Amino acid sequence: MFLSQLMRQSGASASAARNLWRKSENPFISTPQAWLTDLEQVEEKKRGIIDLHPDVFRVAPRLDILHRNLTWQKVYRNVQMTKMLTKAEMPGGGRKPWPQKKTGRAHVGSIRQPEFIHGGFANGVRGPRTWFYMLPDAIRLQGLCVALTLKHAQDDLHIVENMQDLQNGDPKFWQDLCESRNWGYSVLMIDDSDVISGGLAEAQEQLAWLNCMPVYGLNCYSIIKYDTVVLSKNALEKIEQRLLQHLHRAKPLNLKYRYQDYKEKILNESRAEENPNMPPIV
């Protein structure tokens, strides 16, 4: 409401009213809106207003759900490859160094005992160890919605018409653009296609703080890490479509990944390999 008044004053073109799939009929749920701009010139030119889906861009700001997502993203890929050898795994040490009694020395059976210098480790780190786990689908979905909501609520989410084949690839131009629009220290551009060409591609190669990402790479960590997130209009459509599809899917959101269901598949993984007996170690 407020934004449309503003738009009438600024004389921008007609608002892009989208029909939002399965939007709630509840009159108390207001539809979030965002300005539609472009990346052609340094100054921000408002092309219109775009409606966003309240189930994606106006959810409860659950920082704890966001935290679970961020922690998961940081942790699940960690692998500890350190392996401290035990007494049995160290070379040598099979002989009793001195008789058990009457030497005045400790009763020892091997020079690789943990008490010895260069001995084995009793309770060492025994890698390889992983911290991999799978966050439930519902939490991951909600995390994405929360991250997008936070960005939108703090005016850090911008929608642009187009990202492909832009004219100007000069880093100075992009720096001025982001500075004049108050886009903060780092900017993430999200487009629906995974190939980007033109000015934006040239600029993001030069600038470390400017990055591009396809829609399928969207994740909580990146959304929160970058100061500003810029979506192309196509990307917005795709994100909403994908998230809503999963939010409204008939199957339960807490899918069980039980080992006994995947056992057959995992054990037969190497069947298609060139040498089934020696599959490559990933």
Partner 1 sequence: MSQALRSAKERALQIVEQASKIRIQDARDNLGARTSGRQVRKANNQMGHTQGALERAAKPPLGWIWGDFFRPWQRMFPGEKHFNADINVRREYIPLSLIELTRLIDLGWIDPSKPIDISTLCRTQKFQINPNIRQYGFDLTEEGADSFPYAIDIEVQYATQSAIAAVEKAGGRIRTSYYDVNALEAAIDPKKWFEKGNVVPQRKAPPKTLIGYYMDAKNRGYLADESDIENNRINLANIRGYKLPDHEMVTEPLKTVDQVFHGIPAGSVISLADKKLYSPTNEIHREYYSKQVADKQYS
CB of 264 to partner 1, least distance (A): 14
User: Among the candidate windows 79-87, 92-100, 222-230, 269-277, which touches partner 1 by CB under 8 A?
Assistant: 222-230
The answer to the question of residue 133 lying near partner 1 (CB under 8 A) is: no
In angstroms, the CA 219 to CA 76 distance is: 14
User: Among the candidate windows 26-34, 92-100, 112-120, 262-270, which touches partner 1 by CB under 8 A?
Assistant: 26-34
The answer to the question of residue 67 lying near partner 1 (CB under 8 A) is: yes
Among 156, 191, 192, 240, binds partner 1 (CB under 8 A): 156
CB of 97 to partner 1, least distance (A): 27
- Find out whether 230 and 189 touch, Cβ atoms under 8 Å: yes
The answer to the question of residue 153 lying near partner 1 (CB under 8 A) is: yes
Among 24, 41, 43, 61, binds partner 1 (CB under 8 A): 61
CB of 41 to partner 1, least distance (A): 26
The answer to the question of residue 260 lying near partner 1 (CB under 8 A) is: no
In angstroms, the CA 121 to CA 129 distance is: 17
- Find out whether 120 and 88 touch, Cβ atoms under 8 Å: yes
The answer to the question of residue 163 lying near partner 1 (CB under 8 A) is: no
CB of 273 to partner 1, least distance (A): 24
DSSP-derived secondary structure for 103-170: SSS---S-TTSTTSTT---SS--B--EE------HHHHHHHHHHHHHHHHHTT-EEEES--TTBS---
Position 92, amino acid: G
Among 39, 49, 56, 70, binds partner 1 (CB under 8 A): 70
CB of 28 to partner 1, least distance (A): 5
The answer to the question of residue 250 lying near partner 1 (CB under 8 A) is: yes
Measured CA distances, 197 to 163, 169, 188, 239 (Å): 8, 10, 16, 21
User: 91: Cβ–Cβ under 8 A, 6 or more apart, which residues?
Assistant: none
> How close are the terminal C-alpha atoms of the chain, in Å?
54
CB of 245 to partner 1, least distance (A): 14
Could you give the count of Cα atoms lying within 13 Å of 10 in the half-sphere of its Cβ?
17
Question: By CB neighbour count within 10 A (0-12 exposed, 13-18 middle, 19+ buried), where does 208 fall?
Answer: exposed
Chain positions contacting partner 1, by CB under 8 A: 1-2, 28-30, 58-61, 63-64, 66-68, 70, 149-150, 153-154, 156, 184, 221, 224-225, 227, 250-252
